[in-house]
Structures are given as C-alpha cells and as structure tokens.
Amino acid sequence: MRDAGRIAAMVLDYITPHVVAGANTLDLDAKIEKFIKDNGAVSATIGYKGYKHASCISLNDVVCHGIPSVKTVLKNGDILNIDVTVIVNGFYGDTSRMYWVGEVSEAAKKLTRVTYDAMMAGINVVKSGLPLNEIGNEIERVVAPHGYGIVREYCGHGLGRKFHEDPMVLHYAHPAPNSPKLRKGLTFTVEPMVNIGGWRTFTENDGWTVRTVDGTLSAQFEHSIAVTDDGVEILTESPMGFKFPPYL
C-alpha cells in the first residue's frame, strides 16, 4: 500500500508543471498514462466500468469524474482536480489534488484552501478506536462556517486489493450511534468534495461527468491513509512536498 500510494502521489507531482493555460486535458491524461506505465504501475481506471482514461480531470463546476478531452483546453482562472488510481503488485493507491491555472479568483483560492483543510482535519482525528462517523463530523466543522456545501452523493472508501470496498467514509456530519470503530491496519480514502454553493449534483448524459446543480465551483482533495496504533499514516503524501496550490 505504501508503494502504490507513493507512485500515485508521484503521478500528481509529475503532471504539475504541465497544468498550464493552453493544455488540453486529453494530453495531460496521455502524459499521466505514460508516467504510470514507465514507473511499473497499472492504471486502475482504464477499463473500470468502461472508463477509457488513466485520470479524471474535473474543471470548475465539475465535481468529479471529468473525462479528459482534446476539446477541454485549460485557460487562465480555471481550477481543476486531477484524480488518479494506480495498482502496484495487486494493491491500490488513490489520490487527487486541486490545481490552479494562472491567476484564479479569491473565491476559488478560499474554496481550495478550505477543502484541503477539511480533508486534513478529517485525517488528523483518525486513530484506532475512533468511531468512523467522526471523520465526517470533523470535516463539517471546518466547512460549515463558510456556508459551503459538502457533496453527499459520493464518499471515501476502503481500498487495498480492491478499488472500492467497505467502509464507506461520509464527509458530512451525521448521527451514527452504532458507527463502526476504526482499527489498526485499515486502509481507506478521505476525499471531501466541497461546493461554493449547495451540495447537490447531477450527472451528465455521458454517465460520468458530475457537476454542481447550481453551477458553482467545486473542489476536492483525496489521500489514501492507514490507521496505526497511535494515529494515522498518509500513504499518498507528495514526494515533492506539494500540498495545495500554488505548487512551488
């Protein structure tokens, strides 16, 4: 899991300087696919439920599952999420980050920072014995004061030898008196999707692209993590030290 997480994080480090105005998202995806292969890993998304690409690239009001396309050309002011999952020796590493193209609005900067802080707040409470729902409770404590909507249709998930498995990790506050307890060795993702407006989304006719209902900006960060005896280990930390944009 460490190896898979490290290579997934390396992919996002590698693509960083290529996220510039004028680049199209299909070209970014081709670079990502080649990097994954060159580093001895396999893309988990190519062929997954018919998906054809090594990444999901989601711009502006696209919440998740944005399909790379030659027609989607980055322009100054765009914000985007790049999400990759790789397989290394049968184990999965899953991670995503936000990127900025040129100079973005103050609203976009704030949304990006709050979303990152919310993800880290959820991760930092993790330890053996913690009720699972406390992750969502902690994320909402960070997000709610800003009036943002936390997407409810999608959640974090267990992963290991499978792409998606139990537990489902909700990113919003919810009562759960019988919430399962985390235990050492459990590996899963924390990946809140946060909208400037409401939390509701819709899926386009392509069956993949998810957008905010109200057309407002959306942001997401994702790490794969492992529960340890005394806390948590982030398996997808950036080898280059990149956390949130701008990446220097």
pTM of the model: 0.97
pLDDT bracket for residue 27 (50, 70, 90): very high
CA distances from 138 to 54, 124, 181 (A): 31, 9, 16
pLDDT by residue (tens digit) across 220-242? Answer: 999 999 999 889 999 999 999 99
> pLDDT tens digit string along 105-127?
999 999 999 999 999 999 999 99
Domains assigned to the chain: 2-234 (3.90.230.10)
Residue 59 phi, psi dihedral angles, 5° rounding: -100, 135
Average pLDDT, the chain: 97
DSSP string of 29-78? HHHHHHHHHHTT-EESSTTGGG---S-EEEETTEEE-PPP-TT-B--TT-
The pLDDT-based confidence of 45 (bands split at 50, 70, 90) is: very high
